[in-house]
Chains A and B, each alone.
Chain A
Amino acid sequence: MSLTLEVRDLRTHFFTRAGVVKAVDGVSFTVARGKVLGLVGESGSGKTVTGFSILGMVDAPGRITGGSIWFQGRDLANLSEEEMRHLRGNRIAMIFQDPMMTLNPVLRIDTQMIETVQAHEKVSREEARQRSRDALGMVGIGSPDERLKSYPHQFSGGMRQRVAIAIALLHRPDLIVADEPTTALDVTIQGQILAEVQKLAANTGTSLIWITHDLSVVAGLADDIAVMYAGRVVEHGLVEEVLDRPLHPYTHGLIGSVPSRNKRGEPLRQIPGMTPSMLALPQGCAFRARCPRAGEECLIEPELRTILPGREARCHRPHL
């Protein structure tokens, strides 16, 4: 099985006046060719920063301070901005969370698509337009010729996200980082987009990193899952195994919090406490304060270790 991406011990820190925020602190995972990795976690767990790190788009005061991101035999963490730019939108594409905000409101769709084609390939405007049109057709947008001449505000949210996906697909990238692309859409559109993306990824052999906080999305879409907490991966494995039998107490709590798994009439279950401030992480396991299973040994930080075959978790006292 060939790997599209291998992230090893990635560290992305933000150097703010209040202190160093270790938004991503030792994250490792792999994405196999044509597979979908669900990157799951609460807000502030570092999943979006992980995505931006892969694209080399971490803005000051943040920067990648350690680790490596192996992609096609090259370490993205050490590439120059110019080399990175040639990969971005070309071999690695990104889809954003809010489709209402990702397209430039004052530029026509064709402008925004053609510039993407021409940023990476020397082709004529006409050919670029042709490819843009095909891409729009591929994501299920009717009468693409007309739609190319439209402005973003003439599309609905779902349509805009389709356009964004079409733009991401223009160069048939090897990897797409999708940052909660369906969170801002209503459920029916969400389902359509998920099905569409899954089909496209399977057809083109594109690998996906699907960043989300929605476990039900991951359950239906992903092959593997990596659960993040406070800038670290706390559990990693095949999606059905992790969801069926979570090892880490945090994953356990997350799954327990899904409303459909709770009994009717009972108060919804939740994880007690709040995500810790990234400026003042507790010593040892970051989840310790909220963990029902925490003990003495949790004062020492656990490493991500193989607990069952193919199953990794960062916990001293996993659910077994």
Chain B
Amino acid sequence: MSLYLLRRLIQAIGVMAVMSLIVFLGVFAIGDPVEMLISPDADQIERERAVIALGLDKPLWMQYLLFLSNALSGDLGRSFVFNEPALQLIMGRMPATLELALGATFMAIIIGLPLGLYAGLRPNGATSKAIMAVSILGFSLPTFWVGLMLIMVFAVQLGWLPSSGRGETAMLFGVPWSFLTWDGLTHLIMPATNLALFKISLVIRLTRAGVRETMLMDYVKFARAKGLSPSRVTFVHVFKNILIPVVTVVGLELGSTIAFSVVTESVFAWPGMGKLIIDSINVLDRPVIVAYLMTIVLMFITINLIVDLTYSFLDPRVRLEAKG
């Protein structure tokens, strides 16, 4: 187990190193941040000074090495725009995105699993068919449109829920969270629902497919032949077998929600990382872009590791010692 973790750690470092190079080169290739940052009527001397201050006069490889050595000491550069450490900027926005993504994922599991299970057990029932039909809507309706509709119905017409911002927050572990206060929670519900719609549909479909496949397995027939109650067959024999694909997809979905919840955050003016990265890209705030992408890579690696560890817990045939 520890050997496995060590190997995964080394892999992770390799991925991070390669990723940093790609990200750095990629960001360097697009546009000139000086153009965006300095007022057009600045003279040549002011330009030079800005270029030197931002460290853009050095050759690319030297910039990269400098970036690497700083990164190793936890410094991912300072934002050109805010003149704050980029990492600090991102970390400041992370809780908002995190609670949004976790809220959406939580809803996906709480709603998606039972509905999928039901639809899988009674594939020909009218309710199941209705569930499946609605799940197609969840897949295909564009997020921004659903977001706007939610605002129109629940904020504008009914006036039940606030349409933007995080609302009141409370501190936990030194970080502000919305879900700890009633006001914050009312702010969280709509954007989280908006993000969750796609995931709920995904979990429903995955669970249903898994249940239908598993129900045909001999071990389920054998479990019935043993005289077990239907609930024991469903919740122990079937359920544990379908969790593996669900965990995989939910884990990866969680990662991509954290990374790419830009649209929802924009629609609901949710002050998360997605909003920050879009603004940074607009003004070519390189350190923030790089730091953001590195954070996301690290997060994906971590989520993948957690998913893999969950496998070994769910499926005894997955032996972590054997291979990496």
Interface on A for B, CB 8 Å cutoff?
A: 55, 57, 85-90, 93-94, 96-98, 101-108, 111-112, 115-116, 119-120, 151, 153, 164, 167
Whether B219 is near chain A, meaning CB under 8 Å from some CB there, is yes
Whether B46 is near chain A, meaning CB under 8 Å from some CB there, is no
Stretch at the interface among B15-23, B254-262, B295-303, B311-319: B311-319
Q: Which of B222, B228, B240, B314 contacts A102 (CB 8 A)?
A: B222
Q: Which of B221, B228, B314, B315 contacts A57 (CB 8 A)?
A: B221
Q: Is the CB of A104 within 8 A of B241?
A: yes
Whether B157 is near chain A, meaning CB under 8 Å from some CB there, is no
Nearest 5 pairs between A and B by C-beta?
A89-B227, A89-B226, A101-B218, A88-B227, A151-B316
Q: Give A88 to B232 CA distance when docked, in angstroms.
A: 15
Known contacts A102-B219, A119-B226; 9 further A-B pairs (Cβ under 8 A): A57-B225, A88-B224, A88-B225, A88-B226, A90-B227, A104-B219, A104-B223, A105-B317, A120-B227
| 8 A-B contacts (beta carbon < 8 Å) | A85-B229, A88-B227, A89-B226, A94-B222, A96-B225, A101-B217, A106-B315, A107-B236
Residues of A near B229 (CB, < 8 A) are: 85, 119
Residues of B near A89 (CB, < 8 A) are: 225-228
Whether B237 is near chain A, meaning CB under 8 Å from some CB there, is yes
Q: Give A120 to B217 CA distance when docked, in angstroms.
A: 23
Residues of A near B240 (CB, < 8 A) are: 104, 106-107
Q: Is the CB of A87 within 8 A of B314?
A: no
Q: Give A101 to B237 CA distance when docked, in angstroms.
A: 13
Q: How far is the CB of A136 from chain B (nearest CB, A)?
A: 15
Residues of B near A96 (CB, < 8 A) are: 218, 221-222, 225
Q: Which of B224, B226, B316, B317 contacts A115 (CB 8 A)?
A: B226
Q: Which of B227, B236, B241, B314 contacts A86 (CB 8 A)?
A: B227
From B238, which residue of chain A is reached at the shortest CB distance?
A: A104
Max chain A Cβ within 10 angstroms of own Cβ: one of B219, B229, B317: B219
Residues of A near B236 (CB, < 8 A) are: 107, 111, 115
Q: Is the CB of A106 within 8 A of B241?
A: yes
Q: Which of A93, A106, A116 contacts B316 (CB 8 A)?
A: A106
Q: Is the CB of A105 within 8 A of B221?
A: no
Residues of B near A116 (CB, < 8 A) are: 226-228
From A105, which residue of chain B is reached at the shortest CB distance?
A: B317
Per DSSP, chain B at the interface is helix
Taking CB atoms and an 8 Å cut-off, the chain B residues in 194-243 that contact chain A are 217-229, 232, 236-237, 240-241
Residues of A near B219 (CB, < 8 A) are: 101-105
Q: Is the CB of B317 within 8 A of A87?
A: no
Q: Is the CB of B237 within 8 A of A93?
A: no
From A108, which residue of chain B is reached at the shortest CB distance?
A: B316
Q: Give A98 to B221 CA distance when docked, in angstroms.
A: 12
Q: Is the CB of B232 within 8 A of A153?
A: no
Residues of B near A57 (CB, < 8 A) are: 221, 224-225
Q: Is the CB of B222 within 8 A of A119?
A: no
Q: Is the CB of B227 within 8 A of A107?
A: no
Interface on B for A, CB 8 Å cutoff?
A: 217-229, 232, 236-237, 240-241, 314-317
Residues of A near B314 (CB, < 8 A) are: 106
Q: Is the CB of B222 within 8 A of A164?
A: yes
Q: Give A252 to B114 CA distance when docked, in angstroms.
A: 55
Q: How far is the CB of B117 from chain A (nearest CB, A)?
A: 17
Residues of B near A101 (CB, < 8 A) are: 217-219
Question: Would A104 and B316 be within 8 Å (CB), given that A94-B225, A96-B221, A116-B227 are in contact?
Answer: no
Max chain A Cβ within 10 angstroms of own Cβ: one of B224, B225, B316: B225
Q: Give A85 to B219 CA distance when docked, in angstroms.
A: 16
Residues of B near A94 (CB, < 8 A) are: 222, 225
Q: Give A117 to B201 CA distance when docked, in angstroms.
A: 39
Q: Is the CB of B222 within 8 A of A105?
A: no
Q: Which of B225, B228, B316 contacts A153 (CB 8 A)?
A: B316
Residues of A near B315 (CB, < 8 A) are: 105-106
Residues of B near A111 (CB, < 8 A) are: 236
Q: Give A123 to B311 CA distance when docked, in angstroms.
A: 33
Max chain B Cβ within 10 angstroms of own Cβ: one of A86, A97, A164: A164
Q: How far is the CB of B125 from chain A (nearest CB, A)?
A: 12
Q: How far is the CB of A222 from chain B (nearest CB, A)?
A: 21
Q: Is the CB of B218 within 8 A of A119?
A: no
Q: Give A55 to B217 CA distance when docked, in angstroms.
A: 17
Residues of B near A90 (CB, < 8 A) are: 227
Q: Is the CB of B227 within 8 A of A87?
A: yes
Residues of A near B225 (CB, < 8 A) are: 55, 57, 88-89, 93-94, 96
Q: Give A104 to B241 CA distance when docked, in angstroms.
A: 9
Q: Give A57 to B223 CA distance when docked, in angstroms.
A: 11
From B316, which residue of chain A is reached at the shortest CB distance?
A: A151
Q: How far is the CB of A200 from chain B (nearest CB, A)?
A: 18
Q: How far is the CB of A254 from chain B (nearest CB, A)?
A: 27
Q: Give A209 to B223 CA distance when docked, in angstroms.
A: 19
Q: Give A55 to B223 CA distance when docked, in angstroms.
A: 12
From A120, which residue of chain B is reached at the shortest CB distance?
A: B227
Max chain A Cβ within 10 angstroms of own Cβ: one of B220, B228, B232, B240: B228
Q: Is the CB of B226 within 8 A of A167?
A: yes
Max chain B Cβ within 10 angstroms of own Cβ: one of A115, A120, A151: A115
Q: Give A164 to B217 CA distance when docked, in angstroms.
A: 15
Residues of A near B220 (CB, < 8 A) are: 104
Q: Which of A93, A102, A106, A119 contacts B232 (CB 8 A)?
A: A119
Q: Give A116 to B220 CA distance when docked, in angstroms.
A: 13
Q: Give A119 to B220 CA distance when docked, in angstroms.
A: 15
From B237, which residue of chain A is reached at the shortest CB distance?
A: A104
Q: Give A119 to B240 CA distance when docked, in angstroms.
A: 19
Residues of B near A88 (CB, < 8 A) are: 224-227
Q: How far is the CB of A163 from chain B (nearest CB, A)?
A: 11
Q: Give A104 to B223 CA distance when docked, in angstroms.
A: 8
Q: Is the CB of A115 within 8 A of B218?
A: no
Q: Give A86 to B218 CA distance when docked, in angstroms.
A: 20
